[in-house]
Every structure is written in C-alpha cells, then in structure tokens.
Structure 1
Amino acid sequence: MQIILLERIEKLGGIGDVVTVKDGYARNYLLPNKKALRSNAANLKVFEANRAKIEADNAARRTDAEKLAETVNGVQVVLIRQASNAGQLYGSVSVRDIVEALHEAGHSSVSKAMVVLERPIKTLGVFDVRVNLHPEVAVTVSANVARSPDEAELQKQGINVIDQQFAEEAAEAEAAAEEFLETQAEATAEQDDAA
C-alpha cells in the first residue's frame, strides 16, 4: 500500500514522502495513529494544502522534545531486583519498570511508547536504554539493576559486583586454606617435639 508520511518514521522516510509499506502495517499502525495518509489524488491535495502547518507542528513538537532531552539525557535509574549469586534475575526488567522508575525520578512526560528496549534485562548490571522523545530526538538513560542500594552504588562506580563477590569468596577460601595448612604444620611440629 502506498502512503504519504505525516511525520518522520525511522527506516521509512520523512514528512511528505510517498512510500510503499505492507498493508497490515499501514492499516493497523500508521493510519490509526495519524502518522500517514493513503496515497491518492485527494489526500495529496489535502497534504500539500496543509504541509506548512504539519511541518510547523512537527517543528514545535521537536523543540519541546529537545528541551525535555536536556533533562532526561544521561539519567540513571536504580532498579532493585532479586537475583541469584551468578547475577541472573528472578524475572526480568521490562519497559514498564523503566518508565515507572523515570516517573519516580520526576520525568513523568516519558511514556512506554518512547522507551526502546531491544530485549528484557535479565542480569545485574548497568544497561543503556534508548528513549525516543520525538522521531528526530533520542536520548539514552541508564538502568542500574542491582540487588541492593549498596550494590547499585558500586555498579555506578563501574565495579562488577558479581566478579567482586567471586573474588572475595576466592580470597576467603584461600585464607581458610592457608590457616588450615598452618594449623596442620603446627600440629605436626608439636607431634615431632613430643616424640
């Protein structure tokens, strides 16, 4: 189906472009959301008559999005979740969780449709998440997924808490082994002295 774009759509085109898309994509998404018009002579005339207004509205929305981008860009939200010792979450972090955390941080103008998460987050760590405030304005926020606020602070400093945990456990095991060997050596020495 041929359509006329009313706003910039990533990987399709800009305002006023006539493009061909699959029928379902046009009927179920682009047309109901007023992102496009069917391409025919009447709609072309309507679009050309309103082109200046459409472009002005788009520019105004882009300006508002750029102002919002200054406050949202680089924000780090902390999400406390339960996880195994290996760092696997019991569950996952979804778009809804990130949006709720952004709202708690005072960025209530960010909606679920704006957050782009390639796949759900299923491990501990700090992850970059893209937020599309406007088709032409995108920012990045950080999702810090940790088991406790203390771990979140360590991760914020760039420390991998799982590696640190394993290193501490290995150091404790090594110290216990050395203590055991010293105790055995002392016991052997006492037995030799007694004999």
Structure 2
Amino acid sequence: MKVILLENLRRIGSIGEVIDVKRGFARNYLISNKKALYASKENIAEVEKIKTELGKKDADKKKEAKKISEQINNKEFAIKKLSTENKELYGSVKPTEISKLIQENEKLDIKPSMIQPLTEIKSLGKFKVKIILHSEIESEITINVITSETIQ
C-alpha cells in the first residue's frame, strides 16, 4: 500500500516521501497516528502544498527533543525493587516504570514507547537505557536498580 509520510520517521522515510508499506502497518500505525496519508493524487498535491509547514513543525519537535536530551542525557535514576538473595528481581523494570520515574524526577513527559532498554532489566545493578526523542535525537540514561528488601 502506498502512503505519503507527514513526518520524519527513523528507518522509514522523510516528510512528503511516498513509500510502499504493508497494509496493516499503514492502517493501524501510520494513518491512525496521523503520521501518513493514503497516496491518492489529491493527497499528494495537498502534501506538496503543506510540505514547508510540516518541515517547520518537525524542526520545532527536533528543537524540543534537543532541549529534553540536554536535560536528561547521561543522568542516573534510582529505582527500588523487591529482590531475591542472589540479586535477581521479582519481575523486571519496564519502560512504563522508567517513564514514571523520569516524570517524577525531571517533570518531563516521556512516553514508554520512546524508551528502549539495551538489555532486559531483571537484576540489581546499573543498566543503560536509550531514549529516542526524535528520529534524529536520542539520549542515554542509567537506571540504578537497588533493593528495597530481600525476600527468602
């Protein structure tokens, strides 16, 4: 299915580009999140008209992402979790928990979908987590998992 992109997307394409994607991806993600339009002649003409406006919006998003990146890049956040005697966690630390932690500490709204742990966080210690703020801007933070108490 052919669609026209309304914003720059990592590994997919840039604004105004007509790309061919699978029907489900187009319908369920790109079009429903207003990241693309069906590639009809009318839509292609429409996107050509508003391309500069979309470019400005993307530049604003990029500026905002850069500001957030400067605020949180290379910072360390501590999270308390229940653990066993051999330093393993009950469960794991999920992106939603990391998102809430950043919201509480830095007052920044970072969606869980932007957060990508480099490895699954299932034990105590320090872990690197990548945060993708924009298609061209990413930050890296450290999550320090400490024990709240051990259970035998």
Q: Same fold (TM over 0.5)?
A: yes
How many residue pairs get aligned? The number is 148
1:100 alignment partner, SS class:
helix
Once the two structures are superposed, the pairs formed by residues 143-182 of structure 1 within 5 Å of their partners are 143-148=143-148
Match of 2:86 in 1: 86
Query: Is 1:56 aligned with 2:51?
Result: no
Conservation of the 8 A alpha-carbon contact between 2:3 and 2:38: yes
1:99 alignment partner, SS class:
helix
Compared with structure 1, are the counterparts of its residues 39 and 13 closer, same or farther at alpha carbon in structure 2 (3 Å cutoff)? same
Conservation of the 8 A alpha-carbon contact between 1:72 and 1:107: no
Q: If the length of structure 1 is used for normalisation, what is the TM-score?
A: 0.71
Match of 2:141 in 1: 141
Match of 1:30 in 2: 30
Q: What amino acid sits opposite 2:84 in the alignment?
A: S
Once the two structures are superposed, the pairs formed by residues 7-18 of structure 1 within 5 Å of their partners are 7-18=7-18
What is the RMSD of the two structures over their aligned residues, measured on CA atoms? 1.5
Q: Distance in 2 between matches of 1:118 and 1:80?
A: 19
Structure with more helix by fraction:
1
Q: If the length of structure 2 is used for normalisation, what is the TM-score?
A: 0.90
| Cα shift at 1:89 | 0.5
Conservation of the 8 A alpha-carbon contact between 2:128 and 2:143: yes
Query: Is 1:117 aligned with 2:117?
Result: yes
Match of 1:75 in 2: 75
- Runs of 4+ aligned structure 1 residues displaced above 3 Å come to 117-120
2:144 alignment partner, SS class:
strand
Q: Distance in 2 between matches of 1:88 and 1:136?
A: 35
| Cα shift at 1:109 | 2.2
Unaligned runs of 5+ in 2: none
| Cα shift at 1:42 | 0.7
Structure with more strand by fraction:
2
Q: Distance in 2 between matches of 1:97 and 1:128?
A: 15
Conservation of the 8 A alpha-carbon contact between 1:4 and 1:18: yes
Bigger shift: residues 107-116 or 40-49: 107-116
Conservation of the 8 A alpha-carbon contact between 2:99 and 2:109: no
Q: Distance in 2 between matches of 1:108 and 1:53?
A: 26
Q: Distance in 2 between matches of 1:100 and 1:60?
A: 25
| Cα shift at 1:108 | 2.4
Q: Distance in 2 between matches of 1:70 and 1:27?
A: 35
For residues 62-111 of structure 1, the C-alpha deviation after alignment (integer angstroms, 9 at most, x for no partner) is: 11111111101112110111212222101111011101111121232222
Higher RCO (CA < 8 A, seq sep 6+): 2
Q: What amino acid sits opposite 1:60 in the alignment?
A: D
1:82 alignment partner, SS class:
strand
Q: Distance in 2 between matches of 1:119 and 1:28?
A: 28
